[in-house]
Amino acid sequence: MRVAGLLLAAGAGRRFGGPKALVTRGGAPWVESAGAVLRDGGCAPVVVVLGAGADEVRARAALDDVVVVENPAWATGMGSSLRAGLAALPGSADAVVVLPVDTPGVTAAAVRRFVDLAAPAALARASYRGAPGHPVLIGREHWAGVSSAATGDAGARHYLRVHGAARVPCEDVADGADVDRPQDLP
């Protein structure tokens, strides 16, 4: 199976105080770290969707090993970034692992679990102590449906619930917490 990675990094990070793609962890911006997590987990290619602060992200982050897509409608919410990213995936990909940039505790080991489950009909999401989280695996057969359903900040949430996405426990290898504000940092 060919599994692409899709990193959603277009938001303005209003509650955080700026684009979370530029927050640094271990000296590297989150956009770089999260791209490496997808790549090290077995995803190729890795597509990164930028929006708010895209020029600054390009200037400050090393993005040579990813495919960058700019979402001009980023302000409408994550749904538009998910649609832009899905549209940019290569025709050779059988599935995609989706990760938002603001989940810095997700590891390559967690991503690998989804790469290992990949198939054109696959639909799965991480769970942490029973609560849904990221990453998410979307098989090619679901891309059109997810794109149609992705609106506002909900992304694929409703589609995953309605279509019975499998839950894949990941708390033993990752922390799936979203970082919305600086005080949420681990």
Report d(CA 20, CA 66) in Å as an integer. 18
61-68 mean pLDDT: 96
To 10 degrees, what angle do helices 30-40 and 108-117 make? 40
Pair type for strands 46-50 and 3-9: parallel
Domains belonging to the chain, first-starting first, are 3-184 (3.90.550.10)
**Per residue in 88-146, pLDDT tens?**
999 999 999 999 999 999 999 999 999 999 999 999 999 999 999 999 999 999 999 99
State the residue for tokens 């949420």: 184
Neighbours of 173 (CB within 10 A): 15
Report d(CA 21, CA 173) in Å as an integer. 23
| Contact status, residue 21 vs residue 53, Cβ threshold 8 Å | yes
